[in-house]
Amino acid sequence: MTHPSVLEKQTTEPEQNTDIGLLDTRETDFYKTDGGFTGLRYKGKTFPRVSFRRALPIGKPDSYISVADDENKEIGIIRDIGDLSHTQRDVVREDLAKRYFCPSVQSVKSVKDKMGYVYMELILTGAGTTYEKSCAINDVNRNIRMIDGSRLLIFDVDGNRYIIENIQALDKKSMSRLEPYMF
């Protein structure tokens, strides 16, 4: 008689190997409060203000969404927002879009290195608008990084994120300004 090995029993989905506190999406009721916050009614409990965080923001942005109360205590995890009703999905996606707002860099107007910070002037598009933004980046080794073969993420000192969707599509001047900071 052969017994399956532990490795054969493991799968690639985290919840099948570990109890990660998945929410039963049939019992979730996400709603907007009068003050514009997101609340949750779940299994007889009401949480008047909740926040969402992606566990895998780049690889699986719609899966494994942590739901926390106003004291930042995790209530549970949504395995996939596609499991929610259309209305519920809209509420969660709206909140995630605010938290993870990440405008796209169209060009880099200037880059200056000064006293350990890198100051950039960027042309951005996001939420249907094109605009200029100045930002400061500290520790470029950690805050300017390639996330795959063509996309580059920039994190500024204020916690804002900017993405270059296709580094090869940047104009030559923008590329030459960025190259010294790409590792």
- Residue 182's pLDDT band (cuts 50, 70, 90): confident
Each residue of 59-79: pLDDT tens digit?
899 999 999 999 999 999 999
Residues 6+ apart with CB under 8 A from 33: 39, 48, 49
Which of the pair, 127 or 12, is modelled with greater confidence? Answer: 127
pTM: 0.68
Across residues 15-34, what is the average pLDDT?
Answer: 82
User: At CA 91, angle to CA 89 and CA 97, rounded to 5?
Assistant: 95
* Three-state SS annotation for the chain: CCCCCHHHHCCCCHHHHCCCCECCCCCEEEEECCCCCEEEEECCEEECCCEEEECCCCCCCCEEEEEECCCCCEEEEEEEHHHCCHHHHHHHHHHHHHHCCCCEEEEEEEEEEECCEEEEEEEEEECCEEEEEEEEEECHHHHEEECCCCCEEEECCCCCEEEECCHHHCCHHHHHHHHHHCC
Highest mean pLDDT among 13-17, 55-59, 86-90, 146-150: 86-90
Each residue of 107-117: pLDDT tens digit?
999 999 999 89
Contact 49, 69 (CB under 8 A): yes
pLDDT at position 148? 85
Which value, in Å, is the radius of gyration of the alpha carbons in the chain? 21
pLDDT at position 9? 43
Is a pLDDT exceeding 60 seen at residue 92? yes
Q: Is 137 exposed, middle or buried (0-12, 13-18, 19+ CB in 10 A)?
A: buried
pLDDT at position 159? 87
* Cβ atoms within 10 Å, residue 81: 20
Q: What percent of the chain has pLDDT over 90?
A: 74
- Residue 8's pLDDT band (cuts 50, 70, 90): very low
Each residue of 122-157: pLDDT tens digit?
999 988 899 999 999 999 999 999 988 899 999 999
